[in-house]
């Protein structure tokens, strides 16, 4: 499997994240303060475009090279606790760093090199979750 | 080159293009758009300690790590070619940030906080080190971030993702209205 197309697609995505200022701590503050439409427009338009694409993919019954239909496996809901608790913890981190995972990495290359420390810290966070997983409610 | 772009790139251009990443990854190899999985893949790669991870990270996450490397390179290219150096912010946000004690609103993130010297201040440590930890812990616990839950999951009408997005906002609003005022003032 060649990785080049994925790298190219990621580059386009990283480019967009910077030019649309999605990577900015200030834009995330604007969003959480409901002071501007920009971030909601981006996320809303992205969801709508993705939803329409998924509909078309399903309508055409497209399949991958392994014969499986293109699409996402359903996420197990369970009690829902992991989504609410994990989501809230991520939300706290999103507003503090002003960046979700993609922008965190993008910022290291986009003039905020100290974000490399936040990336290492995020790795420590994921490691800690994995170590504690058996003890956490899901 | 920066005359090529008016900043920010408008939402009705950037939003649909970002949304198209979802079908592009499906068409390329039936891959799910989700950045935060890469934290697990890197942990599995360096595997410190005896923590158990899922299947082989190369097999499952190789494409995603290539995508992540692309994000870094694409962002660096954007910063070199057409950097958004000073953002035009909503006046209400400017007011609120001034009241938080932030005076320098140039750049992509406040220089007073997001600098190497900031790491040794309470607010810098909280924003960078604690914030980063929460991003890694929270996304692993919730099984996704903005790309996996808010974009892919909502577009696929997954109830779990709607719950997760509610959580994102519960946490984000708490940080914005409760934690930041305590930290920054």
pLDDT along chain B (185 residues), means of 10: 70 97 97 96 80 73 96 97 93 96 95 94 97 98 96 96 98 98 91
Q: Which of B12, B97, B109 lies nearest to residue A112, judging by beta carbons?
A: B109
Q: Does A61 touch chain B (CB under 8 A)?
A: no
Q: Does A81 touch chain B (CB under 8 A)?
A: no
Q: Does A116 touch chain B (CB under 8 A)?
A: no
The string of pLDDT tens digits covering residues A20-53 is 999 999 999 999 999 999 999 999 999 999 999 9
- Are the beta carbons of A10 and A98 closer than 8 angstroms? no
Cis omega (within 30 of 0) for bond into A103: no
Residues in chain B: 185
Q: Does A108 touch chain B (CB under 8 A)?
A: yes
Specify the pTM. 0.95
> Phi-psi bin for B4: left (phi > 0), alpha (psi -120 to 50), beta?
alpha
Q: What gap in Å lies between CA B30 and CA A6, rounded to an integer?
A: 12
Residues in chain A: 138
Q: Does A67 touch chain B (CB under 8 A)?
A: no
* CA closest to A98 among chain B residues: B109
Q: How many CB pairs under 8 A join A and B?
A: 502
**Å between B37 CA and nearest CA of chain A:** 9
* CA closest to B114 among chain A residues: A114
Q: What gap in Å lies between CA A39 and CA A41, rounded to an integer?
A: 5
pLDDT at A82: 97
- What ipTM does this complex have? 0.96
The string of pLDDT tens digits covering residues A48-91 is 999 999 999 999 999 998 899 999 988 989 899 999 999 999 99
Contact B108 A64 (CB under 8 A): no
The string of pLDDT tens digits covering residues A9-23 is 999 999 999 999 999
| Bridge partners (DSSP) listed for residue A63 | A69
């Amino acid at each position: 499997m060649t990785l080049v197309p994925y790298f190219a697609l990621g580059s386009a995505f990283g480019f967009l994240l910077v030019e649309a200022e999605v990577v900015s701590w200030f834009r995330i503050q604007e969003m959480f303060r409901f002071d501007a439409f920009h971030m909601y427009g981006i996320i809303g338009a992205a969801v709508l475009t993705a939803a329409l694409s998924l509909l078309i993919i399903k309508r055409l019954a497209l399949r991958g090279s392994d014969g499986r239909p293109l699409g996402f496996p359903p996420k197990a809901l369970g009690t829902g606790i992991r989504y609410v608790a994990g989501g809230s913890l991520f939300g706290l981190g999103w507003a503090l760093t002003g960046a979700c995972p993609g922008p965190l990495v993008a910022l290291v290359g986009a003039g905020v090199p100290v974000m490399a420390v936040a990336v290492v810290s995020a790795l420590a966070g994921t490691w800690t979750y994995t170590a504690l997983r058996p003890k956490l409610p899901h | 080159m920066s005359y090529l772009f008016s900043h920010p790139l408008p939402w009705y251009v950037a939003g649909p293009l970002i949304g198209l990443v979802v079908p592009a990854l499906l068409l390329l190899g039936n891959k799910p758009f989700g950045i935060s999985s890469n934290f697990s893949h890197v942990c599995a790669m360096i595997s410190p300690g005896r923590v158990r991870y899922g299947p082989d990270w190369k097999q499952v996450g190789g494409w995603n790590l290539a995508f992540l490397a692309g994000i870094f390179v694409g962002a660096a290219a954007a910063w070199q070619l057409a950097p958004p150096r000073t953002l035009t912010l909503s006046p209400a946000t400017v007011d609120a940030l001034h009241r938080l004690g932030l005076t320098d609103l140039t750049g992509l993130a406040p220089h007073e906080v997001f600098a190497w010297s900031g790491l040794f201040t309470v607010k810098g440590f909280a924003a960078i080190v604690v914030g980063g930890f929460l991003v890694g812990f929270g996304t692993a616990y919730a099984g996704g971030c903005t790309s996996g839950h808010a974009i892919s999951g909502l577009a696929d009408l997954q109830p779990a993702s709607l719950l997760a997005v509610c959580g994102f906002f519960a946490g984000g609003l708490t940080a914005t209205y409760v934690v930041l005022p305590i930290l920054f003032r």
